[in-house]
Amino acid sequence: MNPYKNLNIYGRDTIEQYRGRELYERPPHLFAIADAAYKAMKRRSKDTCIVISGESGAGKTEASKYIMHYIAAITNPGQRAEVERVKNILLKSNCVLEAFGNAKTNRNDNSSRFGKYMDINFDFKGDPIGGHINNYLLEKSRVIVQQAGERSFHSFYQLLQGGSDQMLRSLHLQKDASAYKYICPGAQIKCSINDGAEFKAVADAMKVIGFKQEEIQTVYKIVAAILHLGNLKFSVDGDTPVIENSKVVSIIADLLSTKSDMVEKALLFRTVATGRDVIDKQHTEQEASYGRDAFAKAIYERLFAWIVTHINDVIEVKNYDTTVHGKNTVIGVLDIYGFEIFDNNSFEQFCINYCNEKLQQLFIQLVLKQEQEEYQREGIPWKHIDYFNNQVIVDLVEQQHKGIISILDDACMNVGKVTDEMFLEALNNKLGKHAHFSSRKLCATDKTLEFDRDFRIKHYAGDVIYSVTGFIDKNKDTLFQDFKRLMYNSSNPVLKMMWPEGKLSITEVTKRPLTAATLFKNSMIALVDNLASKEPYYVRCIKPNDKKSPQLFDEERCRHQVEYLGLLENVRVRRAGFAYRQTYEKFLHRYKMISEFTWPNHDLPSDTDAVKKLIECHGFQHDVAYGKTKIFIRTPRTLFTLEELHAKMLVRIVLFLQKVWRGTLARLRYKRTKAALTILKYYRRYKVKSYIREVARRFHNVRQMKDYGKHVPWPTPPKVLRRFEEALQTIYHRWRAGELIRSVPPEVLPQLRAKVAAMEVLKGHRADIGLQRAWEGNYIALKSDNPQTTGSFIPVANELKRKDKYMNVLFSCHVRKVNRFNKVEDRAIFITDRHLYKMDPMKQYKVMKTIPLYNLIGLSVSNGKDQLVVFHTKDNKDLIVCLFSKEPSNDSRIGELVGVLASHFKSEKRALQVSITNPVQCSLHGRKCTVSVETKTNQSQPDFTKHRSGFILCVPGN
């Protein structure tokens, strides 16, 4: 029931209360119907429809919007972007269609002046994936004339009130609606619609739907052109019709993207083809006005149809393959004009009320007639319930050759001048004896009817008096071909698209078009057939009063609506009848899993016996009846209990199927993995064997090679053998090194070890290590190095051997040393495997200082070619010397000294710290100092000089 005010019963909380609930669980509500239709569609993959009916102003349009919002709210839990886009467009389309198709009437501030049936397509998951809108009979006469107290379509007032000043200037409009003849009667009428705010909402909605900016601009250019058309004034200059305000013509031509002279010609002349000749026939003033009005109506109707088509193109389901995506199911929502009785009822009201008769007939057929007939056919005990069948009224309107529409079409096809009065006379002659038809001629005493003007039809909702004035013209729906050609030749592609028949040549003969009434009748028959193919759900809207007041409840008015809608009979049939019926086969197919006797397959004689067994298992036998081919369930509670059991069992079945499938997948995965591992194992074995065979082939004769296979390239190993290759190469290198060492004479081995030790310590730090020459070690004992004093050194060395018990001489050499007193002197160092001796060559190699090797902790040398060496001791009494040789004078012995000491310390498993830096850090009796090396070209011998931070060793430049 329309409360004529907003109630807080359609919010998010209410949606959650009805989501997924069964019909009987919550109080009656629009959301309950919407949810039931959605569940039926999703559960049974069955197309459903929601038929919303009621008088004009009863709340049908609002009900359809709430149903759409509910469906949008409960779908797409996964928030898929494409589904959200479709939902948004479906919701926004209401706003656009209401602006261009709704108007204020005396009964309703937002009355639908067109019929709308919207199909919403759902995928197998139940998410909306598209839709389609069908529109029926736009009341286009409202464009040019409205009844007292009513307005034209909202779009005109929204443009004037909501359009920016710049936009209105570009359209040559002003905000005052009373300045325009077509809409001035409604300019001062109060309306609950906020035109300014709605204009912005419509513009935003059109952008969301996908209208381009230039298309939106064209829409409002057409609306503006219609307003300007209404202001054209025709007069006659002699015999020639003229347009008084020709400036308006150029404005119209500019808005419609055509030439002003072509617009003027189309308005004042009509091109007529007579055989091969083409002539321009002048209009009378009346004909010009008629043509102008017909043009305005036609433009608006084409605009509305184009908007609907554009929305359909955007939301149409594309590239949907049922084999891939599952079944595509539909919920249809019918929001169509309600039953209307105005002070002056014309052709539009006749069509609208015929539409409501057809929908009522569908309701009677499906709910009252077919249901009772089905009970009798199935052998269910049933007491017949009487109802009024309005088929007789439907036949009165649509019957072939006898109905009002047929008579009207015949009148329109007659040659010569046919008037509305002649049409009424034909009605009187053919329908005079019909119980639901009357006129003043048939009932002369009825003064509510005018002679030669009115006729009455007794509709299911009440008696309606129609005025035949305009019936012929509106049914012919004549529009001169000149206007169609004018629009087709427009430079605006949108306008050109709206008028495809404008491309026909003047002389081309075309088939007579169907009349408006026949087109409407055909669309209504197709609509009813479409609804009948779906499972219907009904929303009946009741109007509590005729004053749009939230405080009044007119009991008599409501009782009348309940009676003519057949709600009482519906309740009686529903109470006495059964809520659900289904064939035994389909019932068993859906519910067989809830009984052990029927799952997975029964062994009973027939499906009927299996269904009975299933029902008895759950104790529902007192709430069902068994027909010949169907089972009938009386109360919804039983059906919903079956659904709950089905849903619970479905979870277990799904889990079982998942378990079996996952097990199958796991076994397949295991087999594939095992096979892959087996292949991998054999492949690896093959690769390893291939690699080892190749290594063996390349190195099989390595012992006979001169370099023991150093030049042989190694084959590239597989990844798995990278570490193995490293280990194999290490083994090979150790073997090769062993072979090389075994070929070296034993007496040379100590020198070789010393050179290796020197290389490990000094390589990369000093350029000349002295590896290429023979290392003599005891240089002082050599005559070549020390020809004069060799004889005096050997006895001293032998005495030290006897006294200190050393085994081997490691190194001996003449040096230049500097002490803590800055005194520079020539000395000799003699290193054995036990001590380091400092000797004075001038005093028969007298031992000046003895340093046990265990007291030696490290050496420091520079990174140049000099012979500086510092011996570091535990007691911080470092020995700073520079080696020099007499023969050859430039022989580098630092590498040999470092090597023999490092090798000796390594053999004794002691650490010897060797530091290679410049300057060299040292400590003289605890005092820290540095020794840096400088090269001088005029220097003949290395020499130490004092520096503030220590000493400088000056060495020859060559």
Please give the positions annotated as active site. 56-57, 61, 108, 111-112, 338, 340
CB burial of residue 645 (10 Å; 0-12, 13-18, 19+) = middle
The residues that bridge with 950 in the sheet, in sequence order, are 930, 947
Distance CA 906, CA 900 (A): 10
Question: What do you get for the CA distance between the two ends of the chain, in Å?
Answer: 118
**Strands 927-936 and 950-956: what pairing?**
parallel
- What phi and psi values does residue 859 have, to the nearest 5 degrees? -130, 150
Q: For the chain, what is the radius of gyration of the CA atoms?
A: 56
**Strands 846-852 and 835-840: what pairing?**
antiparallel
CA dist list (Å): 302 to 249, 255, 390: 21, 16, 34
The Cβ-side half-sphere exposure at 197, using a 13 Å CA radius, reads: 3
- What are the DSSP calls for 775-821, one per residue? --SB-TT-TTT-TTTHHHHHHHHHHHHHHH----EEEEEEEEEE-TT
**Strands 846-852 and 824-832: what pairing?**
unpaired
With a CB cutoff of 8 Å and minimum separation 6, the contacts of 471 are: 346, 347, 350, 408, 420, 423
Q: Interhelix angle for 260-268 vs 246-255, to 10°? A: 110
Distance CA 675, CA 688 (A): 20
**Buried/exposed 338-354: b ≥16 CB within 10 Å, e otherwise:** bbbbbeebbbbbbbbbb
CA dist list (Å): 515 to 205, 408, 522, 933: 34, 9, 11, 119
Give me 872's structure tokens: 């570091």
Distance, CA of 489 to chain centre: 41
Distance CA 735, CA 728 (A): 10
Counted residue by residue, the chain has a size of 958
The residues that bridge with 947 in the sheet, in sequence order, are 950
For residues 775 and 769, the answer to whether their CB atoms sit within 8 Å is no
Nearest C-alpha neighbor of 119 from the set 47, 43, 54: 47
The SS3 of residue 605 is coil
